[in-house]
Amino acid sequence: MDQVNEPVFTPMNYTYMKKGDEIVKLQRDLFIGFFRSGLLGFGGGPSAIPLVHKEVVGTFKWMNDQEFSDILALANTLPGPIATKMAGYIGYRLGGILGMINAILATVLPTILMMLVLLTSFNQFKDNPRVQGMTSAVVPIVGVMMGTLTWEFLKKSKNGWGWKKGLLLLGGSFIVMELLHVHPGIVVGVLLIAALVFPDKKEKLEIKMKEKSESL
């Protein structure tokens, strides 16, 4: 996507929030962004990730890919639903406590209300073949969106690490998570600790080794 090369955005300098009408605008945008991604994410929280990315990095340009990836990585490491952690944190960082509550409500409230109305009124609805057809038609679309986001992150891996190390890290992550079925939370946790603990000059290869030995 074209917004990859946007200048690094630092939310702490988000001074325009100072003016009253712009607080209103920010809160409104937060609501719209998370309302859309909550309402369009069929198949649970994870399917909302590319949609949240589209709103936060694309439409509203609140942060860049790098920051989004940090937030997503940590959201994956910690327990609990991912979509609300993303919404809560992004809302909090942009608009404080109000922004946090706003983004979470926008994510969860519309669908909870739908759920209550549908379960208490007409329960037959979910067995309707048309409704099932609608839900299953959205799955490959979300798959494609996830795929393009994956492609972006593969490119970023290559740009950040170069071919050799990039492939090594990708391959290592693949083996550890997909073949050895080590939980992603543990893998990300080990990598984060490794990045903080290792002295600055050491080669990243050792970090990789650490991750592998941890998984055995």
Restricting to residues 71-110, which ones interact with another protein according to CB under 8 A?
A: 71-76, 78-85, 88-89, 92-93, 100, 104, 107-108, 110
Of residues 154-193, those binding another protein (CB under 8 A): 154, 156-157, 160-161, 166, 169-170, 172-174, 177-178, 183-185, 187-188, 191-192
Q: In angstroms, what is the minimal distance from the CB of 109 to another protein?
A: 8
Q: Which amino acid is at 3?
A: Q
Is residue 73 within 8 Å of residue 15, measured between CB atoms?
Answer: no
Q: In angstroms, what is the minimal distance from the CB of 24 to another protein?
A: 23
Instruction: Please work out the total of residues on this chain that contact another protein, with binding judged by CB under 8 A.
Output: 104
Q: In angstroms, what is the minimal distance from the CB of 14 to another protein?
A: 12
Question: Is 21 or 120 the residue whose CB approaches another protein more closely?
Answer: 120
CA distance readout (Å), 61 to 6, 54, 185, 189, 212:
9, 9, 27, 28, 36
Q: In angstroms, what is the minimal distance from the CB of 21 to another protein?
A: 26
Of residues 6-45, those binding another protein (CB under 8 A): 12, 36, 38-45
DSSP string, 56-105: IIIIS--S-HHHHHHHHHHHHHSSS-HHHHHHHHHHHHHHHHHHHHHHHH
How many angstroms separate the CA atoms of 132 and 128, rounded? 6
Question: Is 23 or 42 the residue whose CB approaches another protein more closely?
Answer: 42
Residue carrying the six token digits 């490794």: 194
Site track for another protein across 191-210, x = CB under 8 A: xx-xxx---x---x--x---
Is residue 14 within 8 Å of residue 94, measured between CB atoms?
Answer: yes
Is residue 204 within 8 Å of residue 165, measured between CB atoms?
Answer: yes
